[in-house]
């Protein structure tokens, strides 16, 4: 689904990301971990063509993301609050995204109905602008908006941060289902080792912009990751 | 304690965004301040003589006192729209071991140095000095000036109370309208009775104590108000108003562009900054009055009128359009990674501007009063705006990478968003081109030829819409990464 080739990004001659080769097959739930400044968000921004690669390229479904816009219809993402439109209510925002992705009101409503649990009655029908919601609730809205329109690739940057425990557990279930049942390629980054090992089939550890570990998740993975980050 | 506050204040001033700009802008801003300050001082200095000449049988001070009420109401309006509440910066001071009272005194005291307070000072100080030189009694003049300054401060403090409640604002706004209407139809002239009050201030100087007490009183009210609400969820919290969703589904007829147009309408109606811009563009409608009332322009230099005609219908186009990608800066990353072709995004902005020009044109119908020539000129100007200025504006937007905080009112003189040399360069053709296009055929053929040339250029622009939009889209595409990076920088 996603192929990375000799991708690097430098700012003023300082390399912040360098990925020789990376293949993410369709339907994989892919986890990215690493300390601050390891290059996680840089990688996601490159995937979304928000920054320009210094060398190399990313292909998504054989489309060069920095040259064509054809990846946009099947890719969705939530990186941070700047993906929300602050002056809309949650519903208006969902419908807006729906319209952009060719979904009518009832399609969106049907999808939202599945996430009633996840919203925990704090998002819909609140008559509040998104900018007036708490950080956690903003995040919930952003994540669900990323699921609208049957995307084939979903990119979530630190989706577990700021969420309450109940929602974290529900989100884990949602991500697992997406990859397993619907064959969606999900890319997640996180600082919470336990959550990623729970959710992802494959975990890549970044350090100073380079891949230092590429693990297929198993019983031993969590221990291995903990050992890695202890040093 | 005061030392700390002052050093904070100095840092805030020195490090404010408008000082971080390039030297050229600093100089321009400095000149602008000098210019407006100079105008105020000049007005104050000349006012006495001008009034004396125009109304020889009325004492200028009486005249000034009679019309003071309008000045006060005008100032109140301007402040309501432009002046920021000081309370927003309270948060970091809340947990520091300083007594609440001194924090509040500091905040309120700070507002005394607001730019708006200096307007009155710069006008009335020279006026009072002239009065003294003209041999008016010193005590009366000095205390009158003092009273005016107290009133000025009272407005300053009153504004903060008004800002907290819409009812007070609409009350005052309707009062102003009623006063003006009553006077216009000669039913009742408020200037006389109110003038008596202000003249009383002058004739009985000891009465200056009254505005002084009012000022102290309003200060106290403000103080208590903030004191009582000195909590995160109190006076300093931003109001979260309940949303009244409006049904905009009728706009779906615009097809692909509908989601963007609907979104833009919401953006304009729900955020402080764009609302301010719409208000401003409304005032542009009256711009023609400066020109069409002067026979000099109509008889000798009608090409200047082309400029005025362009301005009347171009208010929204100029003030909103020049900040086009910036309006979406808060969520630009999302727009760029969502399923949105750049073309549609730009086209929807174009339609928005076209609709605004059309609406302004309809609103400008009363200009028929100045004759059909003038009205046709406005029509030609509107066509020019739609056909050419929209594209120039969108093109200029591609070079503008200053993020905008949507829900924060622009402050006077710190409103340098989108204010840079390139913007100025882009603004020049928007204003000079209509004059030029009108002037050449006018000079060599006739007035009507000028009109036709102006209208025709606009029509041509509409015909080549796709060509222009394609070019502009390419420029936006090229600048995409730079724009994304600039918009995600924190201010």
Predicted confidence at residue B13, as pLDDT, reads: 67
Q: Are residues B210 and B336 in the same domain?
A: no
Highest mean pLDDT (candidates A113-117, A150-154, B62-66): A150-154
Q: Are residues B161 and B256 in the same domain?
A: no
Subunit contact A96:B259, Cβ cutoff 8 A: yes
Subunit contact B266:A92, Cβ cutoff 8 A: yes
User: Which residues are CB-contacts of B348 (< 8 A; sequence separation ≥ 6)?
Assistant: B254, B257, B260, B261, B264
Say yes or no: A85 contacts chain B, CB-CB below 8 A: yes
Q: Which residue has the higher pLDDT, A64 or B439?
A: A64
For residue A83, give the nearest of B243, B266, B331 by CB distance.
B331
Q: Residue B245: its chain A contacts at CB < 8 A?
A: 89, 92, 127
Q: Residue A124: its chain B contacts at CB < 8 A?
A: none
Residues A169 and A102 sit within 8 Å (Cβ to Cβ) = no
Q: Residue B259: its chain A contacts at CB < 8 A?
A: 96, 99-100
Residues A83 and A77 sit within 8 Å (Cβ to Cβ) = yes
For residue B243, give the nearest of A77, A83, A129 by CB distance.
A129
Q: Are residues B259 and B209 in the same domain?
A: no
Q: Residue A11: its chain B contacts at CB < 8 A?
A: none
The total of structural domains in chain B comes to: 2
Q: Residue B337: its chain A contacts at CB < 8 A?
A: 48-50, 72, 75, 77, 83
- Per the structure, the complete domain to which residue A159 belongs is given by 2-230
Question: First CA to last CA across chain B, in angstroms?
Answer: 28
Domain with A33 in it: what CATH number? Answer: 3.40.50.300
For residue B338, give the nearest of A72, A92, A129 by CB distance.
A72
Chain A: closest CA distance from residue B256 (Å): 9
How far is residue A213's CA from residue B60's CA, in Å, rounded to a whole number? 86
Q: Are residues B60 and B189 in the same domain?
A: yes
Chain B: closest CA distance from residue A38 (Å): 19
Tokens, residue B281: 């563009």
Say yes or no: A77 contacts chain B, CB-CB below 8 A: yes
Mutation site, A60, A82, A105, interface B, largest B CB count within 10 A = A82
A83 to chain B: closest CA residue? B334
Residues B198 and B151 sit within 8 Å (Cβ to Cβ) = no
DSSP assigned state of B85: P
Answer whether residue B235 is part of any domain. Answer: no
Compute φ and ψ for B193, nearest 5 degrees. -60, -40
User: If we measure between CA atoms, which residue out of B302, B294, B289, B296 comes closest to residue B450?
Assistant: B302
Q: Are residues B136 and B253 in the same domain?
A: no
Q: Residue B334: its chain A contacts at CB < 8 A?
A: 82-85
Map tokens 């699921």 to a residue.
A147
Say yes or no: A88 contacts chain B, CB-CB below 8 A: yes
When mean pLDDT is compared across A35-44, A66-75, A146-155, B65-74, the lowest value belongs to B65-74
For residue A85, give the nearest of B245, B331, B481 by CB distance.
B331
Subunit contact A128:B240, Cβ cutoff 8 A: yes
Q: Residue B331: its chain A contacts at CB < 8 A?
A: 82-86
The HSE-up count of residue A194 (CA atoms within 13 Å, CB side) is 5
What is the percentage of chain A residues whose pLDDT exceeds 90? 72
Q: Are residues B420 and B460 in the same domain?
A: yes
ipTM value:
0.88
Answer whether residue B111 is part of any domain. Answer: yes
The total of structural domains in chain A comes to: 1
Tokens, residue A40: 């996680």
Instruction: Name the interface residues of B facing A (CB cutoff 8 Å).
Output: 240, 242-243, 245, 258-259, 262-263, 266-267, 270-271, 330-334, 336-341, 406-407, 481, 484-485, 488
Say yes or no: A87 contacts chain B, CB-CB below 8 A: yes
How far is residue B416's CA from residue B18's CA, in Å, rounded to a whole number? 7
Compute the count of residue pairs across chains A and B with CB atoms less than 8 Å apart. 82
Q: Are residues B458 and B427 in the same domain?
A: yes
B340 to chain A: closest CA residue? A100
Answer whether residue B237 is part of any domain. Answer: no
Answer whether residue B244 is part of any domain. Answer: no
Answer whether residue B309 is part of any domain. Answer: yes
How far is residue B331's CA from residue A87's CA, in Å, rounded to a whole number? 11
Chain B: closest CA distance from residue A99 (Å): 7
How far is residue B26's CA from residue B32's CA, in Å, rounded to a whole number? 10
Subunit contact B331:A52, Cβ cutoff 8 A: no
Say yes or no: A83 contacts chain B, CB-CB below 8 A: yes
Mutation site, A129, A134, A143, interface B, largest B CB count within 10 A = A129
How far is residue B57's CA from residue B388's CA, in Å, rounded to a whole number? 53
Answer whether residue B470 is part of any domain. Answer: yes
Map tokens 């952003």 to a residue.
A142
Subunit contact B240:A86, Cβ cutoff 8 A: no
Subunit contact A87:B407, Cβ cutoff 8 A: yes
| Domain termination residue (choose one: B199, B228, B257) | B228
Predicted confidence at residue A109, as pLDDT, reads: 93
Banded pLDDT at A142 (limits 50, 70, 90): very high
**Sheet containing A55-60: order of strands:** A14-24, A2-11, A55-60, A63-64
Residue A55: strand pairing partners: A8
Mean pLDDT of chain A: 91
Chain B: closest CA distance from residue A91 (Å): 10
CB count, 10 Å around CB of A62? Answer: 9
Say yes or no: A51 contacts chain B, CB-CB below 8 A: yes
Predicted confidence at residue A158, as pLDDT, reads: 93
Answer whether residue B241 is part of any domain. Answer: no
Question: First CA to last CA across chain A, in angstroms?
Answer: 34
Secondary structure of residue B204 in the 3-state scheme: coil
Taking the CA atoms of B286, B291, B292 and B293 in sequence, report the sign of the dihedral they define: positive
For residue A50, give the nearest of B336, B406, B407 by CB distance.
B336
CB-count exposure of residue B168 (10 Å: 0-12, 13-18, 19+): middle
Predicted confidence at residue A45, as pLDDT, reads: 93
Distances (CA, A) of A193 to A198, A200, A204, A208: 9, 10, 11, 18
Q: Residue B271: its chain A contacts at CB < 8 A?
A: 87
Subunit contact A86:B485, Cβ cutoff 8 A: no
B252 to chain A: closest CA residue? A99
Residues B305 and B291 sit within 8 Å (Cβ to Cβ) = yes
DSSP assigned state of B206: G
Residue A57: strand pairing partners: A5
Subunit contact B330:A79, Cβ cutoff 8 A: no
Predicted confidence at residue B415, as pLDDT, reads: 45
**Sheet containing A153-157: order of strands:** A75-78, A153-157, A185-189, A29-33, A202-207, A210-216
- Per the structure, the complete domain to which residue B192 belongs is given by 2-228
Q: Are residues B382 and B469 in the same domain?
A: yes
Q: Are residues B140 and B256 in the same domain?
A: no
Q: Are residues B222 and B265 in the same domain?
A: no
Subunit contact A82:B488, Cβ cutoff 8 A: yes
Tokens, residue B4: 């700390």
Q: Given the DSSP bridges, would you call strands A75-78 and A63-64 parallel, antiparallel or unpaired?
A: unpaired
Ordered per-residue pLDDT tens for chain B, 491 residues: 677 777 877 776 666 655 555 666 667 767 877 887 888 888 888 888 888 888 888 888 888 888 888 888 888 877 877 776 665 566 777 777 778 888 888 878 878 877 778 888 888 899 999 989 888 888 889 999 999 999 999 988 888 777 766 676 777 778 777 877 787 777 777 777 788 888 888 888 888 899 999 999 999 988 888 787 777 666 555 555 667 767 777 777 777 888 888 889 889 888 888 888 888 888 888 888 878 877 777 777 777 888 888 888 988 888 888 888 888 988 999 988 888 888 888 998 999 999 999 999 999 998 888 888 889 989 999 999 999 899 998 988 887 777 788 877 655 444 444 455 666 677 778 888 888 888 888 888 888 888 898 899 999 999 999 999 999 999 998 888 888 888 887 64
Q: Are residues B170 and B135 in the same domain?
A: yes
Subunit contact B240:A129, Cβ cutoff 8 A: yes
- Count the helices and strands in chain A (H runs, E runs): 8, 10
Mutation site, B243, B327, B344, B485, interface A, largest A CB count within 10 A = B243
How far is residue A173's CA from residue A171's CA, in Å, rounded to a whole number? 5
Compute φ and ψ for A77, nearest 5 degrees. -160, 155
How far is residue B245's CA from residue B17's CA, in Å, rounded to a whole number? 35
Mutation site, A11, A41, A99, interface B, largest B CB count within 10 A = A99
> A171-214: per-residue pLDDT in tens?
999 999 998 888 899 999 999 999 999 999 999 999 999 999 99
Residues A187 and A178 sit within 8 Å (Cβ to Cβ) = no
How far is residue A155's CA from residue B458's CA, in Å, rounded to a whole number? 45
| Domain termination residue (choose one: B228, B257, B286) | B228
| Domain termination residue (choose one: B197, B228, B259) | B228
The HSE-up count of residue A158 (CA atoms within 13 Å, CB side) is 14
A69 to chain B: closest CA residue? B341
How far is residue A189's CA from residue B424's CA, in Å, rounded to a whole number? 44
How far is residue B61's CA from residue B219's CA, in Å, rounded to a whole number? 29
Question: Longest Cα pair distance anywhere in chain B, in angstroms?
Answer: 77
Answer whether residue B173 is part of any domain. Answer: yes
How far is residue B285's CA from residue B312's CA, in Å, rounded to a whole number? 5
How far is residue B210's CA from residue B198's CA, in Å, rounded to a whole number? 11
For residue B484, give the nearest of A50, A101, A102 by CB distance.
A50
Q: Are residues B175 and B261 in the same domain?
A: no
Tokens, residue B39: 């105008």
């Amino acid at each position: 689904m996603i192929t990375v080739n000799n991708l690097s990004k430098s700012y003023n001659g300082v390399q912040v990301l360098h990925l020789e080769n990376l293949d993410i097959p369709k339907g994989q739930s892919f986890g990215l971990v690493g300390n601050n400044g390891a290059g996680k968000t840089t990688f996601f921004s490159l995937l979304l063509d928000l920054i320009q690669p210094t060398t190399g390229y990313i292909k998504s479904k054989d489309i060069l993301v920095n040259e064509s816009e054809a990846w946009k219809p099947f890719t969705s993402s939530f990186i941070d609050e700047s993906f929300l439109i602050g002056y809309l209510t949650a519903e208006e925002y969902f419908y807006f995204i729906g319209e952009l992705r060719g979904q009518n009101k009832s399609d969106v409503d049907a999808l939202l109905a599945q996430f009633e649990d996840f919203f925990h009655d704090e998002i819909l029908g609140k008559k509040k602008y998104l900018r007036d919601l708490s950080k956690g609730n903003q995040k919930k809205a952003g994540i669900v908006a990323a699921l609208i329109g049957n995307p084939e690739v979903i990119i979530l940057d630190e989706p577990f941060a700021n969420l309450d425990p109940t929602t974290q557990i529900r989100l884990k279930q949602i991500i697992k289902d997406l990859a397993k049942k619907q064959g969606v390629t999900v890319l997640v980054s996180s600082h919470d080792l336990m959550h990623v090992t729970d959710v992802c089939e494959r975990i890549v550890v970044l350090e100073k912009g380079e891949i230092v570990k590429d693990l297929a998740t198993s019983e031993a993975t969590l221990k291995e990751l903990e050992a890695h980050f202890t040093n | 304690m005061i030392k700390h506050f002052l050093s904070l204040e100095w840092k805030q001033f020195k490090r404010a965004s408008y000082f971080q700009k390039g030297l050229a802008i600093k100089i321009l801003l400095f000149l602008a301040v000098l210019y407006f300050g100079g105008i105020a001082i000049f007005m104050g200095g000349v006012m006495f003589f001008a009034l004396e000449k125009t109304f020889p049988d009325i004492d200028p001070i009486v005249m000034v006192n009679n019309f003071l009420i309008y000045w006060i109401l005008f100032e109140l309006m301007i402040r309501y729209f432009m002046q920021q509440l000081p309370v927003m910066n309270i948060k970091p001071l809340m947990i520091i071991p300083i007594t609440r009272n001194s924090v509040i005194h500091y905040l309120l005291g700070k507002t005394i140095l607001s730019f708006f307070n200096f307007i009155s000072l710069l006008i009335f100080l020279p006026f009072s000095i002239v009065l003294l030189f003209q041999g008016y009694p010193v005590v009366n003049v000095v205390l009158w000036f003092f009273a005016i300054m107290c009133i000025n401060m009272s407005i300053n403090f009153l504004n903060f109370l008004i800002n907290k409640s819409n009812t007070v604002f609409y009350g005052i706004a309707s009062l102003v309208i009623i006063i003006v209407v009553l006077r216009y139809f000669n039913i009742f002239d408020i200037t006389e009775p109110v003038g008596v009050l202000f003249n009383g201030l002058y004739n009985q100087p000891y009465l200056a104590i009254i505005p002084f007490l009012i000022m102290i009183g309003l200060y106290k009210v403000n103080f208590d108000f903030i004191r009582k609400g000195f909590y995160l969820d109190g006076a300093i919290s931003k109001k979260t108003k309940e949303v009244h969703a409006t049904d905009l589904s009728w706009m779906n007829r615009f097809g692909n562009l509908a989601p963007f147009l609907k979104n833009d309408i919401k953006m304009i109606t729900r955020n402080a900054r764009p609302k301010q811009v719409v208000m401003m563009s409304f005032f542009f409608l009256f711009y023609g009055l400066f020109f069409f009332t002067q026979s000099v322009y109509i008889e000798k230099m009608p090409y200047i009128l082309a400029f005025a005609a362009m301005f009347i219908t171009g208010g929204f186009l100029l003030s909103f359009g020049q900040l086009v990608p910036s309006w979406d800066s808060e969520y630009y990353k999302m727009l760029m990674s969502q399923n949105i072709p750049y073309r549609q995004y730009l086209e929807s902005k174009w339609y928005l501007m076209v609709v605004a020009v059309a609406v302004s044109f309809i609103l400008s119908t009363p200009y028929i009063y100045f004759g059909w020539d003038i009205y046709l000129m406005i029509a030609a100007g509107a066509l020019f705006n739609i056909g050419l200025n929209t594209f120039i504006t969108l093109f200029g937007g591609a070079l503008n990478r200053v993020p905008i905080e949507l829900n924060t009112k622009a402050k006077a003189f710190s409103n340098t968003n989108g204010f840079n040399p390139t913007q100025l360069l882009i603004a020049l053709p928007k204003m000079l081109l209509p004059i030029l296009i009108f002037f050449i055929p006018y000079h060599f053929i006739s007035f009507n030829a000028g009109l036709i040339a102006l209208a025709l250029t606009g029509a041509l622009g509409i015909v080549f819409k796709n060509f222009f939009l394609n070019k502009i889209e390419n420029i936006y595409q090229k600048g995409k990464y730079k724009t994304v990076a600039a918009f995600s920088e924190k201010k």
